[in-house]
Homo-oligomer: A and B are copies of this chain.
Amino acid sequence: MKVKVGINGYGTIGKRVAWAVMKQPDMELVGVVKTRPDWEVLSAVKMGLKLFTLKDRVRDFHEFGVEVHGTVEDLIRSVDVVIDATPEDVGKTYKPLYEALGRKAIFQGGEEEDVAEVSFNALVNYSEALGKKFVRVVSCNTTGLLRVIHALSRVSKVRSVRGVIVRRGADLKEVKKGPIEGLVLNPPKPPSHHALDVKTVIKDLDIITYAVVAPTTLAHIHTLYVRLSQPATKEAVIDALNATPRILLVNGKILKSTAELRELARDLGRPNGDIYENVVWEDSVWVNNDEVMLTYAVHQEAIVVPENVDAVRAVTSLVKDPLESIKITDETLGIKRWL
């Protein structure tokens, strides 16, 4: 029997997770909630998704030429798990409804930590989310950090992480957001929230991050200076990165920018040009005794998609072994398989 999934919110994350859930052999996407009829609804119509909306918006959709199947409450009642992909801080306003209707929910990283019992990353703490009612998938940058820290911890215990994050200013569709010129400290005072958010998953890690926002839409770039608890070799680090799911190494002689990376993803037919992996530049890996430096890209719109899929398996205890869930997700989404 398949787990019934509903997605509340059909924006940047919701639409991608909808597509991913439909690919899962053990899940059924019952429908998605969209609160306003706009251009973004058209892909849902094209995919034949069942649309649900707020009670007082049904008519707006009808006038837009799109029929809905019911209300948000109707959808929630008919699923086992809700993936809440509503905008930042809106998820928490829905939590009472999920509770009242007795449904499990997966929130996104835009919500505060306390919205859920567990902040989640599939590689790091899948088991902690087993059977839980409310789980929060941490945000894109935090997910990127956690995967790399997890990979490096296969070499030896990570003693400290000092990172700089060059954030994309906005997603392509966010036409009211900036900057279109200049670099913005985000915020001026360290650490950026990413370090704190990593610690919601790895509690006692010594980590500082600093973030600068740049006028670009394509992806974030992280550069980390990491200290391990033991001397390492470059080979051991590369091997650990290669052996870690959702980390893809690329060659800087072939590809030097987030622009080429995203265009390659489009060329190779990834939906929306999406990149679910941390893309680590192999050439950027520098190891000196217990020090490791490396640089990778994080596609802000896509990296949490597989984590949401795994979170469904965890909260329903559908799959107990994290690596088994990750394997199913990654095979169905073509992760680490470009060709």
Whether the pair B212, A215 counts as a contact (CB closer than 8 A) is: no
- Give the distance in Å from the alpha carbon of A281 to the alpha carbon of B186 in the complex: 12
Are A286 and B181 in touch, CB under 8 angstroms?
A: no
A48 at the interface (CB under 8 A from B): no
- Interface membership of A185, Cβ < 8 A: yes
A162 touches B284 (CB 8 A): no
CA–CA, A142 to B162, complex, Å?
Answer: 22
Contact A179–B214 (Cβ < 8 Å): no
Chain B residues with CB under 8 A of A188: 252-253, 256, 281, 283-284, 295
A172-220 contacts to B, CB under 8 A, are: 179, 181-191, 208, 210, 212, 214-219
A216 and B217 contact, CB distance less than 8 A: no
Q: CB distance B256 to A189 under 8 Å?
A: no
Contact, CB under 8 Å: A185 / B257: yes
Contacts of A212 in B (CB 8 A): 166, 221, 223, 295
B210 and A179 within 8 A (CB): no
Which of A181, A187, A188, A218 is the most central at the interface, judged by chain B CB atoms within 10 Å of its CB? A188
B284 touches A252 (CB 8 A): no
Q: Does A90 contact B (CB under 8 A)?
A: no
A164 contacts the other chain (Cβ, under 8 Å)? yes
Residue of B nearest to A257 (CB): B184
Q: Are B208 and A293 in contact (CB under 8 A)?
A: yes
> In the complex, what's the smallest C-beta–C-beta distance from A104 to chain B, in angstroms?
37
Q: Is the CB of A257 within 8 A of B216?
A: no
A258 touches B182 (CB 8 A): yes
Asked whether, in the complex, the Cβ of A183 is within 8 Å of the Cβ of B210, the reply is no
Q: Give every chain B residue within 8 A of A252 (Cβ-Cβ).
A: 185, 187-189
Task: Assess the B259–A179 pair: CB atoms within 8 A.
Answer: yes
Binary interface encoding of chain A residues 206-243 relative to chain B, with 1 for a CB under 8 A from any of its CBs, else 0? 00101010111111010101000000000000000000
Please tell me if the beta carbons of B183 and A218 are within 8 angstroms of each other in the complex: yes
User: How far apart sit A214 and B169, CA to CA, in the bound complex (Å)?
Assistant: 11
A184 to B281, CA, bound (A): 12
* Given A162-B162, A223-B164, CB of A215 within 8 Å of CB of B218: no
- Can you spell out 25 A-B residue pairs with CB atoms less than 8 angstroms apart? A162-B162, A162-B293, A166-B183, A166-B212, A179-B257, A181-B217, A181-B218, A182-B216, A182-B259, A182-B262, A183-B221, A183-B258, A184-B259, A185-B221, A185-B252, A185-B257, A185-B284, A186-B256, A191-B286, A208-B225, A208-B286, A210-B223, A212-B221, A212-B295, A214-B214
